[in-house]
Amino acid sequence: MIGVDWGTTSFRAFRVGKDGTIRDRRAGPRGILNVIDGRFADTLREEIGPWLAAGEDHVLLSGMIGSRQGWKEAPYLACPAGIAELAAGVVDVEFDWGQVKLVPGLATDDGNGVAEVMRGEETQVIGVLAAMGGSGVACLPGTHSKWATVEDSRITGFTTHMTGEAYAALRGHTILGRMMREGPAGGAPFDAGVSRAAEPGGLLHHIFGARSQVLMGRLPETEAGAYLSGILVGHEVRAALAGRQGVVVHIIGSPELSGLYARAIAAFGGFPERHDGEAAARGLAQIAEQAAWR
């Protein structure tokens, strides 16, 4: 089968063998925002044409490609949902060179009447279900970080934290960025930011320290970005782990971001366990296996 993790800004395709091993892969910047005039079919054919020509016919897509801004809207499924529910909820898309289906996103309520939605992360969580032993907490750091709870091999709920996007907006469009110069993303300044998040005062107060400490000569301009990042990641992790100290947190993300989150999770009393970036491919293959193809 062919699995595609098709997000807002990136396109990652995997050719997966019957035994579940990844036989080939492609990755590029052709996320849905970079596809012009709704040319999703053409884009897909250009990207995976050789694999289709080689005989593949089952193509499963996950991510924002199934949103209103994507190829076709796949309605959200309600939690709890596992492989069976997602496989039963796939949506067909018209495509002349093979069968293409979309994995639906998930929706839930955060327990206080506020809606939560995800598209793509559900498939990645499915990909680490076995490694998680079918239950636990998964963290998918990024622009919109997701924290998902898994019980009996089904996602029972999740929360979103706009950490990555808030960082970009604060660094790019507030006075904080004017005092920052490029520097390492992690290290001691990141850890100092994480520690800062544990103190009283609140996030909106803490972030001002990324300016005032530079102003007073206590923080180099090359370290202010990592310090701000640590404050934001620290606040996310602190809130996400509140009331569940000592839990194992399964991190699914890029090596660099996973490393930073692992430090913050440990700082707030969790036990980080890192997973590789193949979670999406494994999840797509497992959902495809249970979906109904022609």
Asked if 170 interacts with a second copy (CB under 8 A), we say yes
The amino acid sitting at 18 is K
Asked if 229 interacts with a second copy (CB under 8 A), we say no
Angle at 186 between CA 124 and CA 255, to 5 degrees: 25
DSSP 80: S
Rank residues 79 and 287 by Cβ distance to a second copy and give the closer one: 79
Asked if 213 interacts with a second copy (CB under 8 A), we say yes
Binds a second copy (CB under 8 A): choice among 36, 53, 114, 292 = 114
Q: Please state, in angstroms and rounded to a whole number, the distance separating the CA atoms of residues 1 and 60.
A: 8
Binds a second copy (CB under 8 A): choice among 136, 209, 253, 283 = 209
Asked if 196 interacts with a second copy (CB under 8 A), we say yes
Asked if 188 interacts with a second copy (CB under 8 A), we say no
SS3 content of the chain, % helix, strand, coil (to 5): 40, 25, 35
Asked if 119 interacts with a second copy (CB under 8 A), we say no
The pairing of strands 58-62 and 2-6 is: parallel
Binds a second copy (CB under 8 A): choice among 54, 78, 115, 188 = 115
DSSP 81: B
For a second copy, the binding residues in 52-111 under the rule CB under 8 A are: 107, 110
Identify the H or E element spanning 241.
helix 224-241
Of 33-41, 79-87, 169-177, 273-281, the window that binds a second copy (rule: CB under 8 A) is 169-177
Binds a second copy (CB under 8 A): choice among 131, 132, 203, 266 = 203
DSSP 247: -
Q: Closest separation between CB of residue 83 and a second copy, Å?
A: 25
Asked if 212 interacts with a second copy (CB under 8 A), we say yes
Asked if 144 interacts with a second copy (CB under 8 A), we say yes
Q: Closest separation between CB of residue 210 and a second copy, Å?
A: 9
Which string of DSSP letters, residue by residue, matches 251-294? EES-HHHHHHHHHHHHHTT-EEEEE-TTHHHHHHHHHHHHS---
